[in-house]
Amino acid sequence: MSISNEQAAELQPAIISYVKDLPNMCSLAGLACTILAIYFSIIGVFYAAMIGMIWAVAFDWADGLVARRMKGRTGNDRMFGGQLDLVIDIVSYGVAPAVLLLSYGGFAPILLPVAFVVLAASAIRLSYFSTYGLSDEAKYTGLALDNNNIILVSVFLLEGILPGGIFSVVLYVSALGLAVLNVSQIKTPKLSGNPRNVILLACYTLGITAIYAWKLL
C-alpha cells in the first residue's frame, strides 16, 4: 500500500528536531568554535583563533564517537548527521584556515590565490569523500581535512620564535602543502574512529589550549 505525498510529508520530522540529537549538538559546538576562530583571525588575535581551531577538531571527533555509541538512531538520523558534518567541515577546515592566512598577511590581495587553493582543495576533498567514501583498505584517499587544523595550530607555535618573514613563508607553504596532500592519492588511516586516538587528541587539545592561553596572558 503506497503512502500519499501528504502522509509522507507528515512523517518527516521538523528540521529543528535534529538539533537535540547529541552527536549533532557536538557538531554544532564545533561550528561555534570555528566561528570564534574566524572572528579572532579577522581581528588579529591569532592565539585565540588557534584555540578555536583545535577545539573544532575535538568536537568533530567527539560527535563521531558519540554517534557510534548511541543506540536507537535511525538511518535518517545518521544520514542527517553525516550531511551536517560535511557542511561544517568545509567551514572548519576550509574557510577558517583560508581566513587565517588572509588575515595574517594583512588581507593582501596577493594572498587570495593561496586562500582559494586551500578552500578549493577542502571542497574537492569533501566532495570526493562524499562520493566514494573510504577505500577498500578502510582508509581515506587523500589527507583528511581535520589534520589541517591539527598541523596548522602546531606550526603557529613557531610564530614569535622565527623572524616574521620566515614564519610567514613557513605558514603559507605548510598550508599549500596540506592542500596538495588533501587532494592527493595517498592513503591515510581514519584516526577519529579509534577511542585511543580521541583521548590523545583530547590531551593535545588541552595542551595546545594551555600554551596559547598562556601566550594570550
For the whole model, what pTM was predicted?
0.90
- 17 CA to centre of own chain: 24
Domains of the chain, each with CATH number or no CATH = 20-216 (1.20.120)
User: d(Cα 150, Cα 130) in Å, to the nearest integer?
Assistant: 22
Instruction: Enumerate the H helices of the chain as residue ranges.
Output: 5-11, 22-42, 46-69, 75-90, 96-104, 112-132, 146-155, 164-182, 195-216
Q: Is the dihedral of CA 12, 17, 31, 66 positive or negative?
A: negative
Neighbouring residues of 102: CB distance < 8 A, sequence distance ≥ 6: 108, 111, 112, 115
pLDDT by position in tens, the chain (length 217): 455 555 455 578 898 888 888 889 999 999 999 999 999 999 999 999 999 999 999 999 998 778 777 777 777 888 898 899 999 999 999 999 999 999 999 999 999 999 999 999 999 999 999 999 888 778 999 999 999 999 999 999 999 899 989 999 999 999 999 999 999 999 998 888 778 898 999 999 999 999 999 999 9
pLDDT reported for residue 100: 98
Could you tell me the three cell numbers for 77?
A: 538520523
pLDDT reported for residue 161: 93
pLDDT reported for residue 4: 54
pLDDT reported for residue 106: 97
pLDDT reported for residue 5: 54
